[in-house]
Structure 1
Amino acid sequence: MIKMLAGVWPLLLGIVLIMLGNGMHFTLIGLRGGIEGFSAAELAMVTSSYYVGFLSGARYSPLLIRRVGHVRVFAALGSFMSAGLIAFPLLTDPWAWAPLRLLVGFCMSGIYVTAESWLNDAATNDTRGKVLSAYMIAQTLGIIGAQGLLTLGDAGTSVLFIGASILVSISFAPILLTVTYVPAVEVARPMPLTSLFKGSPLGTLGIFLLGSVYATQAGMGAVFGTQIGMTATQIALFVAMLFAGALLLQYPIGWLSDRMDRRKLIFGAAVLGAISCALGWVTGGSLWPLMAAAFFAGGVTTPLYALFLAYTNDSLPTEDMAAASGGLVFTFGLGAITGPLIAGWAMETLGPFAFWPVLGTTFSIIALYALYRMTQRAVTPVEATEHYLGVVPTASPVAVEAAGVWAAEQAGAERDAEQDTQPSAR
């Protein structure tokens, strides 16, 4: 592990710093928006704009990289993102924030594509699983750590936005000063949604709904906290709990994923998410029950993303996995654009606590559809499934494809090893 980290630590350090800046800005939007008197519907539009940009970046940044190169794209996107973060407190209007968020989303997606290309190229077949796992942990730790930094300043001033911009700016130094090779960026053309749904109805619909859940949690969680009167510190803790739960529940859910019918695990995780949302709804604003609800509702969201990827790969031939990964990332993005808009409208119409019923209903639909799909398709034997790898929803198609290839290779190698030992056992 130490030898593996020695080769990629600059990339991982850069990712942590980027996530510190991006994680700060996600929560700051809700905090500053509340101070400026923006409505939940306006902030939902701002949140959805980020995911419009993120989807666009995933599509077009590989083309930019092939045209002008990794270093130029990486540096340019970093500059634009840093400038965008500083501009938020200068242009305190939701109609100005929406294009700024789109710009930041585009830049973040392109940064992910570039960094993940370098990271994937630095890994070998033996270390790719560990490298990707370390990368996913670095992303999550960066988001959690960002919430702690929010307590060091006042969201009503420009200080925290400037701090986020500085973190993003300096994050490129360890990467650009150590990376010398220029890997090729090859992202498969996404599978058409009709073909994807035909191959895996549960994976396709499930990941669309999960995109709605994730974006609502990440983008509207701070808005919810602001509107019910939480302090800035409490809001930061609330958002941190959403991601801390994901960090701690990822391993046990992943361990179970390789040992049982994944549809049952999807059902169980979605039910836990729905129950957690019901807890958040009935608490009446009590602090620690809200934190517990955030921990478990957020805790099942990220593992569910990796579960849907693994389950979909189980249903497809190996040669279709790369295209399916791109299709799933696109489908997730569509859900991420839609979810905050629905939540924002509900919170505007019914009050801030509508945040929880919207999430709970979405989790319930996932659970019910998983239950229905169990009656429509025979269970895939555990020994025929691909390995689970804890991919996070913020990963670009580059990391998702790499994770799918690694999972298929590992599962294939284990099946070959078992076949080789059978004759000698007899």
Structure 2
Amino acid sequence: MTSSLSLIWTITAAATLLQAGNGLLQALMPLRMQAEGLPISAIGIVAAAYGLGFSSGCFLAPLFIRHVGYIRAFASLAAIVAVLVLAMTQAHSTLAWSILRGVSGMTFACIFTVTDGWISARATSSHRGRTLSIYMMSTKIALMLSPLGIAFGDIKTDGLFLAVSAVLSLSLLPIAATSTAEPPPPRTVRIRVRALFSAVPSAVVGAFAVGLINGPVIAITPVFGVSIGLSQDKAAALLFALQAGSLLMQWPLGWLSDRADRRHVIAGLAGATSLVSIAILLASMYGAQTFLLFAFAAWGGTALCIYSVCVAHACDIVEPDQIVSTVGTLLFSWATGVTIGPLLGAMAMDFIGPGGLFIYSAIVSSLLTVFVVVRIRMLRRDPVMGGFADIPSTSPAAASLTYRAEPPRGSSDGPDAKGQPDERASDQSTASATASPTTPS
């Protein structure tokens, strides 16, 4: 275990610093845009640009890393994103913010590919779970705590942006000082949405719906908080609550999904997200700030955990040689939702008011619940024991972190007559999607 940690401490330290800067930036940008008088619709457009840039980065990252290697890729990308943050201090229009946020989304996707791929290559099979848990906990805690830094500066000045840029620049130091060899370069992931939808529609639709709701809620939550009368630091604390809820609930929900048809867990989480969205709406209307904080934690514990269950469900079904393509396709589905969702969420807030964001969330999560329940009634599945792990939706390298156990000998399970995997083929197989620690965008 000690030798495994010695191989990943540099990338873990670098990723933790990177996520600390990223978390503060997530809270800072929408508040700065609102302070400059940009409408909610403009903030939604900027958030959609991030999703579009991120999805593009997922395709570009393997090519870039193969060309320059992991260390040079991380160093150059971290420098680029630090400069982009500095440029944001001079952004005063929707177009400028959209360009900068779109390019930063592409850059972050490539950086997360570097960090995830590095950890995947260095975590040995005997200590993989514990090694990845240390990495995941470090980065998630950094992402969770960093938005609270809003309280230490004024969003109308450039000080907080300078602090973000400095932290992102500091993430270069552990990588520059590493003495370990680089991992082998990643492979390109093939995207097959139609084929995967025919095999595991609940997972594909679930990943898309997660993007539709998680994208706008995370991007617009600080503005939502200010719009209902919270101070800037309390509005940023709502992001802390979201991540804290996700961190606390991820593993208990994973334990549950390993002992039941994972579609029941997806449907339950989606239904709970709808109910919690209504609770947030009511709490904001009546000014119950303490209850609102706990409600946001509950929302994070449900909505932010759906994607990893969708990945585990899909990995239960497909054949071992399709795992990489499967996770890449689910990521593409999520990124498509993240590109569209902020536009719809911002539109709901423009027409209805601040509460429109969570009315939108309740509607989308309810539709997901209905879809998955219908799928459960159409096709019964026995639970697949074991195999769940925390795979957040923003992991472009999640496919490289995925392990799939071979089916038992003598099993006839496999693709259907059309050459595509079928949900019924999973009853005697096991799957394991190993943890990917990158964070929600």
Report the TM-score, using the length of structure 1 for normalisation: 0.92
Asked if structure 1 preserves the Cα contact closer than 8 Å seen for 2:262 and 2:383, the reply is no
Deviations 1:192-247 (CA, angstroms, capped at 9, x unpaired): 11001011000001100001122112111112112222111111111110110000
Specify the alignment match of 1:354 in structure 2. Answer: 356
Q: Distance in 2 between matches of 1:378 and 1:409?
A: 22
Asked if structure 2 preserves the Cα contact closer than 8 Å seen for 1:387 and 1:410, the reply is no
How far does residue 179 in structure 1 lie from its aligned partner after superposition? 4.8
Q: 1:104 to 1:46 in 2, by over 3 A?
A: same
Deviations 1:27-57 (CA, angstroms, capped at 9, x unpaired): 1111111211111100000111111111111
Q: Which amino acid aligns with 1:207?
A: A
Matches within 5 A, 1:160-309: 160-283=160-283, 284=285, 285-309=287-311
Deviations 1:327-376 (CA, angstroms, capped at 9, x unpaired): 01111100011111100111111111101111111111121111111112
Asked if structure 2 preserves the Cα contact closer than 8 Å seen for 1:49 and 1:99, the reply is yes
Specify the alignment match of 1:377 in structure 2. Answer: 379
Q: 1:165 to 1:412 in 2, by over 3 A?
A: farther
Q: Distance in 1 between matches of 2:260 and 2:185?
A: 35
Percent sequence identity is 28
Q: 1:146 to 1:375 in 2, by over 3 A?
A: same
Asked if structure 1 preserves the Cα contact closer than 8 Å seen for 2:213 and 2:341, the reply is yes
Specify the alignment match of 1:102 in structure 2. Answer: 102
Q: Distance in 1 between matches of 2:408 and 2:303?
A: 28
Q: Which of 398, 401, 404 is matched with 2:399 structurally? A: 401
Q: Distance in 1 between matches of 2:112 and 2:361?
A: 27
Q: Which amino acid aligns with 1:345?
A: M
Q: Distance in 2 between matches of 1:411 and 1:338?
A: 38
How far does residue 187 in structure 1 lie from its aligned partner after superposition? 3.0
Matches within 5 A, 1:59-74: 59-74=59-74
Specify the alignment match of 1:82 in structure 2. Answer: 82
Q: 1:165 to 1:259 in 2, by over 3 A?
A: same
Q: Which amino acid aligns with 1:336?
A: V
Matches within 5 A, 1:53-64: 53-64=53-64
Does residue 1:45 correspond to 2:45, yes or no? Answer: yes
Q: Which amino acid aligns with 2:344?
A: I
Specify the alignment match of 2:370 in structure 1. Answer: 368
Q: Distance in 2 between matches of 1:84 and 1:106?
A: 12
How far does residue 132 in structure 1 lie from its aligned partner after superposition? 2.8
Asked if structure 2 preserves the Cα contact closer than 8 Å seen for 1:136 and 1:392, the reply is no
Q: Distance in 1 between matches of 2:406 and 2:251?
A: 18
Structure 2 alignment gaps of length 5 or more? 412-427, 429-441
Matches within 5 A, 1:25-36: 25-36=25-36
How far does residue 281 in structure 1 lie from its aligned partner after superposition? 1.0
Q: 1:412 to 1:127 in 2, by over 3 A?
A: farther
How far does residue 290 in structure 1 lie from its aligned partner after superposition? 1.6
Structure 1 alignment gaps of length 5 or more? 420-426
Asked if structure 1 preserves the Cα contact closer than 8 Å seen for 2:212 and 2:338, the reply is yes
Asked if structure 1 preserves the Cα contact closer than 8 Å seen for 2:222 and 2:239, the reply is yes
Q: Which of 331, 334, 344 is matched with 2:333 structurally? A: 331
How far does residue 92 in structure 1 lie from its aligned partner after superposition? 2.1
In terms of fraction of residues, the more helix-rich structure is 1
Specify the alignment match of 1:129 in structure 2. Answer: 129
How far does residue 412 in structure 1 lie from its aligned partner after superposition? 7.2
Residue aligned with 1:90, SS: coil
How far does residue 6 in structure 1 lie from its aligned partner after superposition? 3.5
Aligned alpha-carbon RMSD (Å) = 2.0
Specify the alignment match of 2:146 in structure 1. Answer: 146
Q: 1:341 to 1:16 in 2, by over 3 A?
A: same
Residue aligned with 2:335, SS: helix
Q: Distance in 2 between matches of 1:108 and 1:165?
A: 14
Residue aligned with 2:102, SS: helix
Q: Which amino acid aligns with 1:329?
A: L
Q: Which amino acid aligns with 1:404?
A: T
Aligned residues: 409
Asked if structure 2 preserves the Cα contact closer than 8 Å seen for 1:278 and 1:360, the reply is yes
Q: Distance in 2 between matches of 1:182 and 1:158?
A: 36
Report the TM-score, using the length of structure 2 for normalisation: 0.88
Specify the alignment match of 1:344 in structure 2. Answer: 346
Residue aligned with 1:124, SS: coil
Q: Distance in 2 between matches of 1:382 and 1:375?
A: 18
How far does residue 188 in structure 1 lie from its aligned partner after superposition? 4.2
Deviations 1:56-103 (CA, angstroms, capped at 9, x unpaired): 111102111212222332222111100111111222222101000011
Specify the alignment match of 1:11 in structure 2. Answer: 11
Q: Distance in 2 between matches of 1:412 and 1:254?
A: 23
How far does residue 149 in structure 1 lie from its aligned partner after superposition? 1.7
Residue aligned with 2:378, SS: coil
Q: 1:411 to 1:340 in 2, by over 3 A?
A: farther
Deviations 1:395-423 (CA, angstroms, capped at 9, x unpaired): 22x2x113421xx239979x9xxx9xxxx
Q: Distance in 1 between matches of 2:299 and 2:15?
A: 25
Q: Distance in 2 between matches of 1:199 and 1:191?
A: 14
Asked if structure 2 preserves the Cα contact closer than 8 Å seen for 1:210 and 1:332, the reply is yes
